[in-house]
Amino acid sequence: MAARTVKLAVIPGDGIGPEVVAEGLKVLEVAAAQQDLAVETTEYELGAKLWHRTGETLPESVRTELAGHEALYLGAVGDPSVPSGVLERGLLLRLRFDFDHYVNLRPVRLYPGVASPLAGVGPEDIDMLVVREGTEGPYAGAGGVLRKGTPHEVATQDSVNTRFGVERVVRYAFEKAASRPRRKLTLVHKDNVLTFAGELWQRVVREVGSEYPQVAVDYCHVDAASMFFVNQPARFDVVVTDNLFGDIITDIGAAITGGIGLAASGNINPDNTFPSMFEPVHGSAPDIAGQGKADPTATVLSAATMLDHLGVPEAARRIENAVAADLKTRAQGGGSRSTAQVGDDLAARVAEQG
Amino acid sequence: MAARTVKLAVIPGDGIGPEVVAEGLKVLEVAAAQQDLAVETTEYELGAKLWHRTGETLPESVRTELAGHEALYLGAVGDPSVPSGVLERGLLLRLRFDFDHYVNLRPVRLYPGVASPLAGVGPEDIDMLVVREGTEGPYAGAGGVLRKGTPHEVATQDSVNTRFGVERVVRYAFEKAASRPRRKLTLVHKDNVLTFAGELWQRVVREVGSEYPQVAVDYCHVDAASMFFVNQPARFDVVVTDNLFGDIITDIGAAITGGIGLAASGNINPDNTFPSMFEPVHGSAPDIAGQGKADPTATVLSAATMLDHLGVPEAARRIENAVAADLKTRAQGGGSRSTAQVGDDLAARVAEQG
Ligand SMILES: CC(C)[C@H](C(=O)O)[C@@H](O)C(=O)O
Ligand SMILES: CC(C)[C@H](C(=O)O)[C@@H](O)C(=O)O
């Protein structure tokens, strides 16, 4: 019997979600077992189907059950048959907010062998960690509409930023930066236009930064940062930014490191008051769902992020090694494989390290 | 004597602003004269120096004088000695808002001979026109701070979107799309999260779009669009988007087309109730100011956008031709030239076409 059992809630979700999660679990279980860790999964059918059947996105009873797990593993949610925003806000963001996932952790790393769309850029040029705030900012859902449907309609959308919320994520980012070789932290914001929120972020970075004299602090407006991700990615080590800017720049990060099929993320509650949630950055890709075409790598890498969070870094490194090896063979050609074949290969490569 | 005289207010601004504007004027005057158009310039010293001397960013008397011109030509504003936002909001955005520049027009075009940082991408892959809203959204300046400096501080930042404001810029974008060979318009927003503003934008695009059945309409979340700018730029023809998203994606657009040194923009008031303003997308780059190192091309191309707006497209095309020819010779090597030399060469290339 394993020394420790992790209770994992699995939300396969919509589109390619179930396919990629199946492979993620396959690889996760092999890596965990090697460290004497058992994974006990409970599957929750949330997403488009449930919403169509019941009109609910996250029933209260499910929310309570989810809260009783150590971690959540999510594929993707969203379907063209559901109005835009319903599942995103009713399920995905609801979990991020309710479970206080104030760190949305997104590594941006170019693996050897992966072709970046950027000319002449190699793995040594792109190795950053984006720490995106996950529980406030423009994602608060605040705003409203006046005189809807008339020529005088006004729609507002409010970004809410708190000292409490900004400080905790900034502190997390400084910790990460202090633990990496380059020890550099870049704040990305738009403080010359979003002056109220920007000034708060700047001040908090300055204040918290005084406790981390070993970390070099930089600042970039979000427009410039978006440009630098493309033409000077080596500029960045750890990046800390707000919820919306983080959403945008991590997709640029995914693009420059070979696409959304490889981008992992963790929605982390560092205080462990609720379970953290791990998911690929990509969406449900309904156009290729059910065809075994989806690349499960981002979901597999999200399991590595989960293992780090669960305090089993050896298992996380083995998954990353397996992915790195697999991506190298892809570069050498090799036929195209199905989602399940990639999962099998990755699991085998983890097993080899045991 | 010229058949027509344009009264142009010139705001050289800070950093490299004066250098690049001098070259822009040089080229503009040659191109204009060929069409029997004289340019009468009045220079206004606005920016960091004025602010340090008087504390003012845009004196009322200057504002009134500027309003009496046919167009404004601006270099760049901003200096590290001035707190972030003071000149941007007090001068640049003030002009955009006061003079109702509701169209912020930003061509994203890869010129032959220019190396894109994107591998394997050529001029045929990048030819878009971003129509950025310029007078509302998160740039409204709305928001505030509660309990500043305490652990309970809250800073808000509000995006204000009106039917009036969205409709006029969307209509402009449809007109542009209808006049281009591909006839495609992509709305970029984040309607699954910013639901109030996003729904308004979507609805307006749908409604106005029904008057333009010949235009194919697409939608992209801003995160996905930012990724596609990098790995599928050919996807886009005309893009319409809000003020902040437009700020971000046009910097990505600048990056993929060879950098901010080439990106032009027009802040346009299509109703001509106030003068429109033309400026490069880049900033004041204080680190290289006064060294003759700045590339004036973006400023020169902004003059072409100005000539289009003034109804002299022949002159605009000649400037673009001159730039295209110049960029091709750069690709063939050739020593590095000073700001003034590039301006001289461009002026000569325009003169050749006369
Ligand atoms: C689906 C959407 C709500 C989500 C976000 O905007 O955060 C996604 O884009 C992401 O990056 O995880
Ligand atoms: C200087 C700044 C206020 C401005 C903006 O955000 O619009 C600039 O980035 C631009 O794109 O013209």
Q: So what's the pLDDT on residue B332? A: 85
Residue A334 scores a pLDDT above 80: no
Q: How far apart, in whole angstroms, are the C-alpha atoms of residue A277 and residue A91?
A: 12
Other CB atoms within 10 Å distance of the CB of residue A178:
15
CATH architecture of the domain with residue range A116-257? 3-Layer(aba) Sandwich (3.40)
Residues 136 through 155 of chain B touching chain A, CB cutoff 8 Å: 138-139, 141-145, 147, 150-155
Q: How far is residue B116 from each of residues A251, B106, B121, B126, B330, measured CA to CA in Å?
A: 20, 18, 7, 10, 14
Other CB atoms within 10 Å distance of the CB of residue A216:
14
Q: Using CA coordinates, name the residue in chain B closest to A203.
A: B149
What's the whole-number mean pLDDT along residues B155-176?
A: 98
Q: How far is residue A59 from each of residues A44, A89, A139, A199, B192, measured CA to CA in Å?
A: 11, 14, 21, 39, 20
Q: In this structure, what DSSP letter does residue A2 have?
A: -
Task: Tell me which H or E stretch contains B155.
Answer: strand B154-162
Residue B195 scores a pLDDT above 80: yes
pLDDT band at residue A331 using 50, 70 and 90 as cut-offs: confident
Q: E-strand spans in B19-136?
A: 37-43, 71-76, 103-109, 127-133
Structural contact between residues B161 and B197, judged by C-beta atoms closer than 8 angstroms: yes
**Residue corresponding to tokens 């399940």:** A340
What's the whole-number mean pLDDT along residues B15-34?
A: 98
Task: Tell me which H or E stretch contains B315.
Answer: helix B313-331
In DSSP terms, B131 is beta-bridged to B105, B240
Q: So what's the pLDDT on residue B331? A: 84
Residues 107 through 126 of chain A touching chain B, CB cutoff 8 Å: 115-120
pLDDT tens-digit map of B259-317: 889 999 999 999 999 999 999 999 999 999 999 999 999 999 999 999 999 999 999 99
Per the prediction, chain A carries an average pLDDT of: 97
Q: So what's the pLDDT on residue A109? A: 97
Class of domain A1-115+260-354: alpha beta
What's the whole-number mean pLDDT along residues B218-237?
A: 98
pLDDT tens-digit map of A286-314: 999 999 999 999 999 999 999 999 999 99
Correct CATH for B1-111+273-354 of 3.40.718.10, 3.20.20.140, 3.20.20.220, 3.40.50.300: 3.40.718.10
Amino acid at B342: V
User: Is residue B88 within 6 Å of ligand 2 at its C-beta?
Assistant: yes
Q: So what's the pLDDT on residue A220? A: 97
Q: How far apart, in whole angstroms, are the C-alpha atoms of residue A200 and residue B297?
A: 37
Structural contact between residues A143 and B196, judged by C-beta atoms closer than 8 angstroms: yes
Q: So what's the pLDDT on residue B218? A: 98
Q: So what's the pLDDT on residue B2? A: 85
pLDDT, greater one: A210 or A261: A210
Q: How far is residue B337 from each of residues B137, B288, B340, B344, measured CA to CA in Å?
A: 40, 14, 8, 10
What's the whole-number mean pLDDT along residues B18-41?
A: 98
What's the whole-number mean pLDDT along residues B165-190?
A: 98
Q: How far apart, in whole angstroms, are the C-alpha atoms of residue B341 and residue B326?
A: 11
3-state secondary structure of B279: strand
The ranges of chain A annotated as CATH 3.40.718.10 are 1-115+260-354, 116-257
Residue A348 scores a pLDDT above 80: yes
Q: How far is the CA of B284 from the centre of ligand 2 (A)?
A: 11
Least confident of A218-232, B80-94, B325-339: B325-339
Per the prediction, chain B carries an average pLDDT of: 97
Ligand nearest to the CA of residue B194, numbered in listed order: 1
- Is-catalytic flag, B190? yes
Which residue in B251, B277, B354 sits closest to B24, CA to CA? B277
Nearest atom in ligand 1 to the alpha carbon of residue B224 is 9
% of chain B exceeding 70 in pLDDT = 100
Q: How far is residue A92 from each of residues A95, A160, A220, A237, measured CA to CA in Å?
A: 5, 19, 29, 28
- Partners of residue B231 in chain A, C-beta under 8 Å: 117, 255, 259
Structural contact between residues A181 and A173, judged by C-beta atoms closer than 8 angstroms: no
Which residue in B325, B330, B280 sits closest to B301, CA to CA? B280
Ligand nearest to the CA of residue B90, numbered in listed order: 2
Q: So what's the pLDDT on residue B326? A: 96
Q: How far apart, in whole angstroms, are the C-alpha atoms of residue B114 and residue B206?
A: 37
Sequential DSSP letters for B220-276? EEHHHHHHHHHH-GGG-SEEEE-HHHHHHHHHHHHHHTT-GGG-EEEEE-TT-SS-E
Supply the pTM of this predicted model: 0.97
3-state secondary structure of B15: coil
Would the CB atoms of A158 and B153 count as touching at under 8 Å? no
Residue B334 scores a pLDDT above 80: no
Residue A95 scores a pLDDT above 80: yes
**Residue corresponding to tokens 């209509």:** B171
The ranges of chain B annotated as CATH 3.40.718.10 are 1-111+273-354, 116-257
Q: How far apart, in whole angstroms, are the C-alpha atoms of residue A120 and residue A233?
A: 12
pLDDT band at residue A335 using 50, 70 and 90 as cut-offs: confident
- Partners of residue A159 in chain B, C-beta under 8 Å: 138, 143, 156-159
pLDDT tens-digit map of B3-14: 999 999 999 999
Q: How far is the CA of B138 from the centre of ligand 1 (A)?
A: 20
Q: So what's the pLDDT on residue A1? A: 72
Structural contact between residues A83 and A21, judged by C-beta atoms closer than 8 angstroms: no
Q: So what's the pLDDT on residue B106? A: 97
User: Is residue A207 within 6 Å of ligand 2 at its C-beta?
Assistant: no
Residue B1 scores a pLDDT above 80: no
User: Is residue B193 within 6 Å of ligand 1 at its C-beta?
Assistant: yes
Q: So what's the pLDDT on residue A131? A: 98
Residue A26 scores a pLDDT above 90: yes
Task: Tell me which H or E stretch contains A324.
Answer: helix A313-331
Residue B65 scores a pLDDT above 90: yes
